[in-house]
Amino acid sequence: TDASKVYKIGSWKDKDFDKKKSKELLEAEIEFCNPDLIILLGAQPLHLLDKNKNYAFTVEDENYLLIKNKKCVVAPFLIGNGPVGNRYGKGFEKRLKIASNKITDMKFK
């Protein structure tokens, strides 16, 4: 998920979404679906679920993040990286590899 779920009334502008309602919806989806693994695309869903986590540190951490007793992987969100440093943004390839490894490892646990 990229977390852009519920936009403010009358608005479809990028990043103009209701964070409180988006968090409530995201948490309800997690509870309803009861997934084994949650893949958070970029900083927005991470900050919705845990506003105290640092995106750069968390996305590069090789351990799973636990949110509501669910394993989470924070993966870089291609659209959100922009053309900084290299084709997909600073550290994109490294971060994608870390996330991919965690997702792949989940299949065997």
pLDDT of residue 108: 55
pLDDT < 50 regions, the chain:
83-86
Q: What's the pLDDT at 5?
A: 72
- The Cα–Cα gap between 37 and 73 comes to 7
The 10s digit of each residue's pLDDT in 53-70 is 998 899 888 889 998 889
Could you write out the three-class secondary structure of 22-33?
HHHHHHHHHHHH
Helix, strand, coil share (%) of the chain residues, nearest 5: 45, 15, 40
